[in-house]
């Protein structure tokens, strides 16, 4: 320790004496992840801090300060509001509404049957068609979804995992119909099956064939959809399921490294696919903890990709990410307050250097957003961009004793989790042992107990409560939507060339039983208007279904 | 004679995987001294009712965040009644708008429905009251 630092430490000790004689307000001083926070941070907390090694400059290794040289001085983040409901026609109208109001990218929410690989007329889809997203059964629906939206002009993110290959194929086929070649397409499929087993639980096949589909996508996209983000490695759902910020960070990056290992094991060069991997994080209420999480994420990814996985291309080192504000932080009570929560969360994401952002609507805890609440949510990030001034300078919180100490702590904590996961035999083995699921359930329960014990105050929930009538309108999905979608599907099954459908599905089955890349076969089936459910059924028959060991 | 523990089936119907609430409430019931059976995800109404009868539970608690509550609650209630299990108390929680809660409880499809933010203590107390 230098003399200068020693002198500061002495002074700090004296200050601490004074501080301890004063009464503190009640409650625990901890982050939203129950991590204790000290009353003061100073140079003493950053004893071994090395600017060059730990931060560097924006767009330079280890990218702690951001992945681009000019960050928001070049352009703002992409404002990408997640939307989708009812049928392709209604959702298409909502996308046009959002684009007309200045949104710069699309993000598609699918309904549960589409997410789980069931057609709208499957018995398991009953009551769920178009409820939490848009129902997409075939290429026909996809064509309607993007009608009047030129696919060479927008970038589109699709929240799809187990059936990601099929929805990507539908997107490519829709572009073909618009005369746009697949090389020009910009967008993202979530395609992160590991976090499905860990947290979001929308799986279909067991892990092994699921990982094969993913590596098939990586190979296909490299040659045919080179600008596409092939996996959006997601912490969002891990957090929503109740994890801490550190768990979100560590488990997500561990998943990321597992994909890198799977890709290289499948014979790909790491630099051929790693540049197309992107990330998706949550932004919860604890402002500084979130910012530290994003900064640590960039640094960890860059270091490991370079040092452990031998990436040579600079693009492989860049952790680019989308952020969504925390749905789980919103309250059903006094829902207008959620506008305020979302604004702070959005601000944290921007100060953490996000590449794109979804700000939640105030009513999402109750229903899908109305047009009005969706507009306020978009306006929230426009206000952050244009009015707050936070985007004028890059990574403005760098050098803050607290933020840098927290960033270091995040990195160390993540490294400890990586070691533990390794010890358990890797991500798939840890899933099988329920390691992640248990960690998350423990954190979720602790959080709930803290609220009930009032160790944590949530405005309007356990303090400042009031009797109220809900003062906002909610979006209702007409049950007629389901009937009409089922009807359209029936007509499609009658009007298409069913022999061609059968033949393409048979080709797909053969590929699944062998080792050929599945994606070209899926694309052929999609072009023949085979439905998502039919394609999944073929794969389900070959690959089987995943069953979870349910624990609580 | 030792008092029989309250038996609860925590069920997760529908296609969605939002099991945070179901798991938290299952633990809270267990901590409150109840016998808890958790079905796991993606259960059909038929599977839920079969489990409820087989496990001889007093209460079925369903967690629904998929927006499908208006079809799932009536269906499970109907199946319970058809199978002579109308003594089992059906309740639940999730992202359910007020109007739908009123309709489901008034028509008897659910005894009580709780929305996000409800304290687990309140739900435990409600169950104790309802089972007696």
A544 vs B3, residue with greater confidence = A544
Q: How confident is the model at residue A300 (pLDDT cuts 50, 70, 90)?
A: very high
Asked if B116 lies within 8 A of A332 by C-beta distance, the reply is yes
- Which of the residues B10, B11, B12, B18 would you substitute to probe the A interface, choosing the one with the greatest number of A C-beta atoms within 10 Å? B18
Rounded mean pLDDT, A482-490? 96
Mean of the per-residue pLDDT values for chain A? 96
Going from N- to C-terminal start, the domains of chain B cover 7-131
Name the band, by pLDDT with cuts 50, 70 and 90, for residue A367.
Answer: confident
Pick the CATH number of B7-131 from 3.40.50.280, 2.60.40.150, 3.40.50.300, 3.60.15.10: 3.40.50.280
Instruction: Point out the residues of chain B with pLDDT beneath 50.
Output: 1
Strand partners of residue B62: B11, B92
Quick one: which of A200, A382, A400 has its CA closest to A289? A400
Contact B116 A118 (CB under 8 A): no
Handedness of CA A80, A82, A86, A87 (dihedral sign): positive
Q: Is the pLDDT of residue A317 over 80?
A: yes
| Residue range A213-224: mean pLDDT, rounded | 97
pLDDT at A167: 98
Average of per-residue pLDDT across A427-454:
96
Q: Is any Cβ of chain B less than 8 angstroms from the Cβ of A366? A: yes
Higher pLDDT, A470 or A517: A517
Q: Give the residues across from A169 on adjacent strands.
A: none
Would you state the pLDDT for residue B2? 59
Instruction: Categorize the per-residue pLDDT at A209 as very low, low, confident or very high, splitting at 50, 70 and 90.
Output: very high
What ranges do the domains of chain A cover? 51-78+164-452, 492-543
Res A550 pLDDT > 60: yes
Q: Report the residue from A477, A548, A552 with minimal CB separation from B27.
A: A552
Question: What number does CATH give the domain A51-78+164-452?
Answer: 3.20.20.240
pLDDT score of A102: 86
CA distance B5 to A546: 34
Q: Do B67 and A131 touch (CB under 8 A)?
A: yes
- Determine contact, residues B69/B96, Cβ cutoff 8 Å: yes
Residues within 8 A of A (CB atoms), B 83-122 only: 95, 97-98, 115-117, 119-121
Q: Name chain B contacts of A443, Cβ cutoff 8 Å.
A: none
pLDDT at A140: 98
> What is the chain A residue with the closest CA to B18?
A200
pLDDT of A552 strictly over 90: no
- DSSP H helices, B17-119, are 20-31, 45-54, 69-82, 98-106
Query: What is the rounded average pLDDT of the residues A476-493?
Result: 93
Asked if A477 reaches chain B (Cβ–Cβ under 8 Å), the answer is yes
Please compute the mean of the pLDDT values over residues A376-381 and round it to a whole number: 97
Nearest Cα of chain B lies from the Cα of A156 at a distance, in angstroms, of: 23
Is B36 part of the contact surface with chain A (CB cutoff 8 Å)? yes
Residues present in chain B in total: 132
Nearest CB among A126, A202, A552 relative to B17 is that of A202
Q: In what side-by-side order are the strands of the sheet with A186-189?
A: A82-83, A106-108, A155-158, A186-189, A228-229
* Distance (Å) from the alpha carbon of B130 to chain A's nearest alpha carbon: 22
Q: Is A469 or A109 the better-scoring residue by pLDDT?
A: A109
| pLDDT at site A472 | 79
Assess whether pLDDT exceeds 90 at residue A81: no
Per CB-CB distance under 8 Å, the chain B contacts of A129 are none
């Amino acid at each position: 320790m230098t003399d200068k630092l020693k002198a500061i430490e002495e002074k700090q000790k004296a200050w601490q004496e004074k501080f301890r004689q004063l009464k503190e307000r009640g409650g625990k001083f901890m982050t939203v992840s129950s991590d204790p926070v000290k009353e003061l941070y100073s140079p003493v907390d950053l004893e071994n801090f090395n600017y060059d090694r730990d931060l560097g400059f924006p767009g330079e290794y280890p990218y702690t300060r951001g992945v681009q040289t000019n960050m928001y001085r070049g352009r703002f983040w992409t404002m990408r509001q997640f939307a989708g409901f009812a049928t392709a026609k209604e959702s298409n109208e909502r996308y046009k509404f959002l684009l007309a109001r200045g949104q710069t990218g699309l993000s598609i929410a699918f309904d549960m049957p589409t997410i789980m690989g069931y057609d709208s007329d499957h018995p398991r889809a009953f009551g769920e068609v178009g409820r939490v997203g848009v129902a997409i059964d075939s290429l026909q629906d996809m064509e309607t979804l993007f009608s009047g939206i030129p696919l060479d002009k927008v970038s589109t993110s699709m929240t799809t995992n187990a059936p990601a290959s099929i929805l990507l194929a539908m997107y490519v086929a829709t572009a073909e119909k618009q005369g746009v070649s697949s090389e020009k397409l910009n967008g993202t499929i979530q395609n992160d099956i590991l976090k499905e087993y860990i947290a979001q639980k929308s799986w279909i096949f067991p892990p092994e064939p699921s990982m094969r589909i993913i590596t098939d996508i990586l190979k296909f996209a490299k040659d045919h959809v080179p600008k596409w983000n092939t996996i959006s490695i997601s912490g969002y759902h891990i957090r929503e399921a109740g994890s801490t910020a550190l768990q979100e960070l560590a488990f997500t990056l561990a998943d990321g490294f597992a994909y890198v290992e799977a890709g290289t094991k499948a014979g790909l060069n790491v630099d051929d696919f790693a540049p197309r991997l992107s990330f998706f994080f949550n932004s919860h209420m604890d402002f500084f903890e979130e910012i530290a999480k994003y900064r640590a994420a960039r640094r960890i990814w860059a270091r490991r990709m370079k040092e452990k996985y031998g990436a040579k291309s600079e693009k492989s080192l860049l952790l680019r990410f989308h952020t969504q504000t925390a749905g789980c932080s919103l309250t059903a009570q006094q829902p207008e307050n959620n506008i305020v929560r979302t604004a702070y969360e959005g601000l944290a994401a921007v100060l953490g250097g996000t590449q794109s952002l979804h700000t939640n609507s105030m009513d999402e805890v109750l229903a899908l957003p109305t047009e009005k609440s969706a507009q306020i949510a978009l306006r929230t990030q426009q206000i952050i961009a244009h009015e707050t001034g936070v985007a004028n300078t890059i990574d403005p919180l760098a050098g803050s004793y607290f933020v840098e100490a927290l960033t270091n702590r995040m990195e160390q904590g993540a490294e400890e989790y990586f070691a533990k996961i390794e010890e358990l035999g890797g991500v798939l083995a840890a899933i099988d042992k329920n390691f992640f699921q248990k960690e998350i359930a423990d954190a979720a329960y602790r959080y709930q107990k803290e609220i009930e014990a009032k160790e944590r105050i949530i405005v309007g929930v356990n303090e400042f409560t009031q009797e109220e009538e809900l003062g906002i309108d909610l979006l209702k999905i007409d049950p007629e939507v389901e009937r009409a979608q089922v009807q359209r599907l029936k007509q499609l099954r009658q009007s298409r060339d069913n022999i061609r459908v059968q033949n393409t599905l048979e080709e797909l089955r053969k590929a699944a039983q062998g080792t050929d890349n599945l994606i070209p076969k899926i694309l052929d089936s999609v072009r023949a208007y085979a439905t998502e459910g039919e394609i999944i059924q073929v794969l389900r028959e070959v690959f089987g279904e995943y069953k979870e060991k349910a624990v609580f | 004679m030792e008092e029989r523990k309250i038996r609860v089936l925590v069920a997760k119907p529908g296609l969605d995987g939002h099991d945070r609430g179901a798991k938290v409430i299952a633990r809270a019931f267990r901590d409150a001294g109840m016998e808890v059976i958790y079905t796991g995800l993606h259960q059909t109404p038929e599977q839920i009712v079969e489990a409820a009868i087989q496990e001889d539970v007093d209460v079925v608690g369903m967690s629904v965040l998929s927006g499908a509550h208006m079809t799932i609650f009536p269906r499970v209630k109907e199946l319970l009644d058809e199978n002579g299990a109308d003594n089992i108390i059906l309740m639940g929680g999730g992202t359910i708008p007020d109007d739908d809660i009123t309709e489901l409880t008034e028509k008897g499809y659910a005894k009580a429905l709780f929305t996000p933010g409800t304290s687990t203590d309140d739900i435990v107390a409600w169950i104790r009251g309802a089972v007696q």
